[in-house]
């Protein structure tokens, strides 16, 4: 869906991101090794099958798009944006090689994920796993995080 209206994040939206990441770190406090790498923390939580649980599932679904955006901004030259969609503002990222921002909150439709799955994914997992496809489509190389 094309987005004709976009804008930069407000201070309160940046605060929401920081608060969300703190809630994520607090919830998964036993995995301190991930520090600021919230995208990998979310990925590990899905790997540990926390995504479909009553305890963690809602938080992971909320955090997955924002953690993906953070990863793209932090490592791959994307910028945060907000896009207007269905009378609401959605978190998004923009990149010079894209004609429009990527609406992070609509990635669960698989439009930016080329992976095949044997089973249905947990809420937010399709979004989380869109990183590789997004990087391929913008011509970026995935970092080798050592």
| Fold classified for 6-138 | 1.20.120
Sheet holding 88-94, edge to edge: 6-7, 79-85, 88-94, 102-103
What is the reported pLDDT for 65? 97
**Helices 38-47 and 57-76 sit at what angle, rounded to 10 degrees?**
140
d(CA 41, CA 28): 8
Which pLDDT does position 139 carry in this prediction? 87
Say if CB 125 and CB 47 are below 8 A apart.
Answer: no
Domain ranges in the chain are 6-138
- Dihedral sign for Cα 19, 134, 46, 105, please: positive
Q: 43-62 pLDDT, tens per residue?
A: 999 998 898 888 899 999 99
Alpha helices in the chain (DSSP H): 11-27, 38-47, 57-76, 125-128, 131-138
pTM, whole model, 2 decimals?
A: 0.89
pLDDT value for 2 = 52
| Tokens of residue 13, six digits | 């939206």
* Positions in the chain whose pLDDT score sits under 50: 1, 146
């Amino acid at each position: 869906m094309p987005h004709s209206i976009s804008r930069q994040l407000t201070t309160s939206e940046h605060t929401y991101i920081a608060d969300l990441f703190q809630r994520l770190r607090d919830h998964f406090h036993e995995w301190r090794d991930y520090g600021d790498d919230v995208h990998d923390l979310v990925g590990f939580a899905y790997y540990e099958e926390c995504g479909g649980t009553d305890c963690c599932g809602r938080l992971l679904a909320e955090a997955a798009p924002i953690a993906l955006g953070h990863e793209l901004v932090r490592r791959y030259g994307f910028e945060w944006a907000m896009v207007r969609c269905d009378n609401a503002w959605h978190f998004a990222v923009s990149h010079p090689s894209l004609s429009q921002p990527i609406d992070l909150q609509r990635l669960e439709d698989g439009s930016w994920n080329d992976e095949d799955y044997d089973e249905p994914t947990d809420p937010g997992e399709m979004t989380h796993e869109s990183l590789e496809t997004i990087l391929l489509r913008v011509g970026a190389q995935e970092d080798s995080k050592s």
